Amino acid sequence: MQNVVAIPANPALVNSTEDFLHAVEHGRKDSAEKFIHMADHLTDRVISLFLVEPANMANLSSGQKKVIDFAVSTAGKASSMLTRQIFKKVSNAEFAPVVENVKQMYWQAGEDNNNHPYISFPVDDSFAADFSKACSLCEEGRGTEDVALVTRVMGEMADKIIDEVFLVNTKEVKIGFVTQKALNVGVDGSRKAVHSVNNKVLRDLNNDELKGYMGHYATLLMKR
């Protein structure tokens, strides 16, 4: 058993993941399109988790809402455009290492996860300890005592998801210089957007609000 970050997969993400794996396994010509479709659903799920849902839990000003709306739009468009640009011509043979990554991440519903599917990846013990500490503080109604810790671990969580769920597959295929540069810019913009929302939401929350906020995310850390 190891510590993992596990993102609950909705039906659309489950179906698109299984469609991609099935397409490659059977040598179908639409594997690239199936992967792009899966990545779009994964992007939507993560954007909802880290941008939309926290915004709905806080009383934000119109200015803060505009920042979040812009972040959601920017991250979604950048991810979709770059995914299509990078993977649209990848062959089934070239998809082999990507398939292995997806299989490792896709935690199918079963007895070991209460029959709920997830997209998961391992995290080190240090991060798990810090994240658990932040969750415990907030659960005890003492989150404001170390809101810096709460902000940091949520930022690290988002960064890890970007790296381990999205970027990991771009390293398995050939990418031209121009596309790589666009990818770097897109990823940097997405990181900044998530961190900006994270900081703006968390800094003004009281202990009760922090309890609800981190309670929402506490279940992302699991054992697998």
Give the pLDDT confidence of 119-168 residue by residue, as tens digits.
999 999 999 999 999 999 999 999 999 999 999 999 999 999 999 999 99
C-alpha dist (Å) from residue 56 to 13, 51, 79 = 22, 9, 23
Give pLDDT < 70 ranges for the chain: 58-60
The total number of residues written for the chain in this structure: 224
Predicted model pTM: 0.88
Question: Contact, 112 vs 125, CB < 8 A?
Answer: no
Q: In this structure, what token pair is assigned to residue 159?
A: 């960064």
* DSSP single-letter state for residue 2: -
Closest CA to 198 of 163, 151, 161, 160: 151
CB count, 10 Å around CB of 13?
23
